[in-house]
Structure 1
Amino acid sequence: MKTFRIGLIGLGGMGQAHIRWMSEMGGRFRLVAISDVNPPALADMGDKLGISEAKRYADFERLIADPDVDAVVSVTPNNVHAAIVRACLEAGKPFLAEKPFTRDFEEAVPLLALYERQPVAAMIGFTYRYTPAFRYARELVRQGRIGRVRSFSSQYLQGWGAAQYNCPFVWRFDKAITGTGTLGDLGSHMIDLARFLFGGEFLELTAQMQTIVPERPDPLTGEPVRIEVDDFVSFQARMTGDIRGVFQSSRNAIGSGNQHEISIYGDTGTIHASTLDEGHTVLIGEDGEGQLSRSTIAVPQRCRIKQYDDFLALLDGTETDGLPGIIDGYRNQEVLEAIVRASEIRSLVEL
């Protein structure tokens, strides 16, 4: 079996997580080149991984053009997502790129056009498609275990941004880098999960976005920096099949570490799944005697698919069910744009 030579762009915390995930794939991936704008990080990680100085790139375009790189993994802040995807498409090089697809919808449009002219094997990093509890919930929905789905509620909560923690101004609060705040970071996952679970598209929505903590201290000077991105967002949507969804996301939910969950309501029952218990999915419905029952079901092994299982299959040329590709990234960005617009005009937006 072929071992794929990987070039990694971005050596931050998530980049290191990707290094670990690749190492768990039985030798099918070999990291041969790295790129980062931070010279000390590039040197330290290069030494740690045993990568020669010739394969340590300050310029990601040189890494993408490297003939020794079979595929690219990109784990960077949002402001370079579009440029990296464009370079991979132009070079015809397969890639796995972090979400959101781009910083805003305007950046997404020409990328889709380029992809349609010259398609490349590509994957967008919507990692929660690979949460076992969510994957099993999708299977239960498809089996009709709760009848026709009528509505659902989805939330993705974190607490690290709450005012009492005095979190400094980091790139996730910088509009020029991130585009939006909580919406693009956490909300993009909720949008993708809904599309993944129900197999449909967003048709219309209303939304509210808010900046709860208006200033953050500069990490170097301590001076306050004005925040121009959201740290709370809520929206209501109608999807294909007349399915109605209620969403909320926040970085100010004290006590929530990484709480992403969904409750799905059908004609004959309810399904609940959460990152707080990735190995189980809850099914509520009537038993054979007409009594309401609640079952906490262990997720079967077939639903324990890793993100890199699908990336490997993509590179091998094998079709998989539910791999998030370019179209998924584009549709996600389209919904993000509609949410921003709905919040600004305080009215219903149709997609």
Structure 2
Amino acid sequence: MPMEKRSDYGLAMPTIEMARHPDNRKLRVGVIGGGFGRTHLTAFQVCENVEVEAFCRRTRQSAENTAKEFQIPRVFTDYRELLELKGLDAVSIAAPVYLHYPIAMEAMDRGIHVLCEKPLALNKDEAAAMLLKAEEKKLAHMTAFNYRFVPALRRMKELLEEGYVGNRIYHVDGVWFGETRADLNAPLGWRYRREMAGFGALGDMGVHLIDLVRWLAGDFKKVCAHTAIFNRERKLPDGSGKGSVTVEDSCAFVAEMEGGAQASIHVSGAAR
């Protein structure tokens, strides 16, 4: 059994059981994507039961530099080649959103378990197909809602379930301002284009708040929302001019939860 830890306030802090291979060997994982992929690599390094077998990134030199830093034996610039590796147990997908669906579907067709960054897909149809595939193949599948594993938030959930703060929740409030997104000098990358990102501030940042609210207070019953694009243009990466931002950089909504609680959420990639 895992050891119980205590916070500075004397409260018991929940621990997490690590997944293990049935043969009691290390799980062999491949990581695809060099942005948040580096965060995944850092996390895998402290998992004693995980071995990162391969890393994939579009640029060969960047991929090799990262592989050297994290001591990863195999490097690829094409995710299809990584997925062909024999004995790969799971893949961690941290590529741009428009690649989530094709990578995950091919991985699951090969019997590989999937951890995928948020937002899960470009739209609900892709996300539903990914879920159906995982269920059909009986594979482990998860969106990277990592805040569920923050010890303080896990303890908060336990306290709520124990009735420590009462028998019901009346109001939940969430705010997330993305300072790096508000930098007007940042070029028009894939995150600002709907055909590649699917969503803007709501899917990129607000999805974490939505997940936590659902996890702590139950599902949404009614929602009234407003989105906006405040910064409508950004410079092109090659410096040749400006291009249009096609995803929202701000979203605010109020909601009624199934248990009767009120919720208000505000996320912004425009305000600091």
Taking the TM superposition and a 5 Å limit, the aligned residue runs for 1:79-228 are 79-147=98-166, 148-162=168-182, 165-198=184-217, 200-228=218-246
Letter in 1 for 2:91: V
Tell me, in whole angstroms, the C-alpha distance in 1 between the residues paired with 2:241 and 2:152.
Answer: 43
Cα deviation digits, residues 125-179 of structure 1 (max 9, x gap): 001112233222212211212221122111111222336x432212211211101
Task: Say which SS state the counterpart of residue 72 (structure 1) adopts.
Answer: strand
Letter in 2 for 1:7: G
1:44 aligns with 2:81: no
Match of residue 32, structure 1, among 42, 47, 53: 53
Match of residue 254, structure 2, among 227, 236, 261: 236
Task: Say which SS state the counterpart of residue 38 (structure 2) adopts.
Answer: helix
Tell me, in whole angstroms, the C-alpha distance in 2 between the residues paired with 1:124 and 1:89.
Answer: 14
Contact 1:237–1:244 (CA under 8 A) maintained in structure 2 = yes
Task: Say which SS state the counterpart of residue 187 (structure 2) adopts.
Answer: coil
Cα deviation digits, residues 280-310 of structure 1 (max 9, x gap): xxxxxxxxxxxxxxxxxxxxxxxxxxxxxxx
What is the percentage of aligned positions where both structures have the same residue?
28
Tell me, in whole angstroms, the C-alpha distance in 1 between the residues paired with 2:180 and 2:188.
Answer: 12
Letter in 1 for 2:38: Q
Cα deviation digits, residues 9-67 of structure 1 (max 9, x gap): 1122x2112111111123x2211112122222223233444545xx3222212322311
| Aligned equivalent of 2:7 | none
1:251 aligns with 2:245: no
Match of residue 41, structure 2, among 19, 31, 45: 19
TM-score w.r.t. length of structure 2: 0.84
Structure richer in helix, relative to its length = 1
Report how many aligned residue pairs link the two structures.
248
Once the 2 structures are TM-superposed, how far is the Cα of residue 123 of structure 1 from its aligned partner? Answer: 2.0
Letter in 1 for 2:172: F
Contact 2:145–2:211 (CA under 8 A) maintained in structure 1 = yes
Structure 1 residue runs of 5 or longer lacking an equivalent are: 255-351
Contact 2:173–2:265 (CA under 8 A) maintained in structure 1 = yes
Tell me, in whole angstroms, the C-alpha distance in 2 between the residues paired with 1:211 and 1:82.
Answer: 26
Cα deviation digits, residues 158-209 of structure 1 (max 9, x gap): 222336x4322122112111011101101111111111112x2222211101
Letter in 1 for 2:175: Q
Tell me, in whole angstroms, the C-alpha distance in 2 between the residues paired with 1:155 and 1:83.
Answer: 32
